Chains A and B, each alone.
Chain A
Amino acid sequence: DAGITQSPRYKITETGRQVTLMCHQTWSHSYMFWYRQDLGHGLRLIYYSAAADITDKGEVSDGYVVSRSKTENFPLTLESATRSQTSVYFCASSEDTYLVYGYTFGSGTRLTVV
């Protein structure tokens, strides 16, 4: 089915390990985003990308890196996981900056750092 696919759905990792969350979209949307959702903070932007090979930091980017070599993929890497990065991570995409149809979100990855 067309849409945004995130993997894995659930992940438990140890402090200090590197972990990569995957995001794949089938619409060829130009814009892609990574958000984290925590109780008391709502959705906060980690990184975004306007096109392949163009990425920029969001509000809470420390400790994360992204890449976008292909339009359809936007992986998020935690270089050295910390307990404060335990969260639910959502990938999203949009076809334009006017957001007539808003963002389309994936189902999320629930990450636990122990």
Chain B
Amino acid sequence: EDQVTQSPEALRLQEGESSSLNCSYTVSGLRGLFWYRQDPGKGPEFLFTLYSAGEEKEKERLKATLTKKESFLHITAPKPEDSATYLCAVSPGTSYDKVIFGPGTSLSVIP
């Protein structure tokens, strides 16, 4: 069964304290892995798409990496405005029109 898990469930960081969020997936092939940011009361906002192991993408303080079984979202020197829930999602190779979302990691960055 296709599945996406994320850890930790919640993370509190001091401003400037770098860390990583994990996304582990079990799918029948992988067409793409996606990271989204979701602020309270809003819809998810697209961050990155990764297609193959070894690929990396960066945006400001965020860097996403991909291996064959997991992805990491590295947050370097976070600021309070980085506080949000970060969602990981995968598109299995068996179904181009299906995307499976993980439960998310709630990140709080304390000033």
Contact = CB atoms under 8 A, between A and B. Distances in A.
Q: How large is the interface on B (under 10, 10 to 19, 20 to 34, 35 or more residues)?
A: 20 to 34
B63 to A, nearest CB: 17
Interface in B74-96: 87, 89, 91, 96
A92 to B, nearest CB: 8
Nearest to A56: B97
B43 A106 contact: yes
B44 A97 contact: no
Interface stretch (A42-50, A64-72, A74-82): A42-50
B34 interface: yes
Contacts of A50: 97
B44 A43 contact: yes
Interface residues of A, number: 27
Nearest to A48: B97
B99 A45 contact: yes
B102 A42 contact: yes
10 contacts: A40-B103, A42-B102, A43-B87, A43-B89, A45-B98, A45-B99, A50-B97, A102-B34, A102-B49, A103-B44
Interface of A: 4, 31, 35, 40-45, 48, 50, 56, 58, 90, 92, 97-108
Q: What 5 A-B pairs are tightest by C-beta distance, nearest first?
A: A105-B43, A102-B46, A43-B101, A97-B96, A42-B103
